[in-house]
Amino acid sequence: MLPYIGSPLARLIFGGFHVNKATLMRFFTLHFLMPLFISCVAILHIVDIHQFGSSNPLHSGNIKEVIKFHPYFKVKDILGIIIVSSSFSSLTLSSFHLGHSANYILASPLITPEHIVPEWYFLGLYAILRAIPNKLFGIISMFSLIINFVQAFLTNEYD
C-alpha cells in the first residue's frame, strides 16, 4: 500500500474496509457509464468534423483548405458502422456456439468447480501466485516477471 494515502484510498474505492455491495455497485456503475461517455465523445467528435471540416493532413494545395465531411468522412463512418455492427451482431447471435457447457450451470457461492483454471496466457502468473503463500510477495513476483519480459523485449534480447 501507499504510505499515508493507501488505506484511506482503499476505503474510498471499496466503500468500507472490504469489498461489499457498495464496491460492486460502484464498479458496475463505472462499467456502465464509461462506454456511454466514450460514445458521447465520439458522437461529439463526428458532429464537430461535420460542422467545421477536418484539417489538411497531407498539406496538398492550400494549407488552409479543409476536407469536407460529406462525402469523404460520411462514407467512411457509415462503412465502419456497418462493419462493426454486423460483426458484433453475428458474434452476439452465434455466441452459444462459443461458450463452454459449464457456463450454463447455475452459480453457487458455496461450490467452486474443480475444472476452473485461468486461460493459457495467465497460467504462468497463476502458478506464481499459487506458489508463493504471501499475497504481497506473490504480486511483486508476478509484476517483476512482467517487467523482466518487457525489458527483455525492449532491449531485443530475444533476437
Instruction: Look at residue 141 in the predicted model and tell me its pLDDT.
Output: 92
Amino acid making up residue 42: A
Residue 54 annotated in active site: yes
Residue 159 annotated in active site: no
CA separation for the pair 159, 138 (Å, rounded): 30
State the catalytic residue, choosing from 119, 135, 157, 159. 119
Residue 135 annotated in active site: no
Which residues of the chain are under the pLDDT cut of 50?
none
User: Contact at 8 Å (CB) between 126 and 118?
Assistant: yes
Residue 77 annotated in active site: yes
Instruction: Look at residue 152 in the predicted model and tell me its pLDDT.
Output: 85
User: Contact at 8 Å (CB) between 53 and 69?
Assistant: yes
Instruction: Look at residue 97 in the predicted model and tell me its pLDDT.
Output: 65
Q: State the pTM of this model.
A: 0.39
State the catalytic residue, choosing from 7, 39, 55, 76. 76
Instruction: Look at residue 85 in the predicted model and tell me its pLDDT.
Output: 92
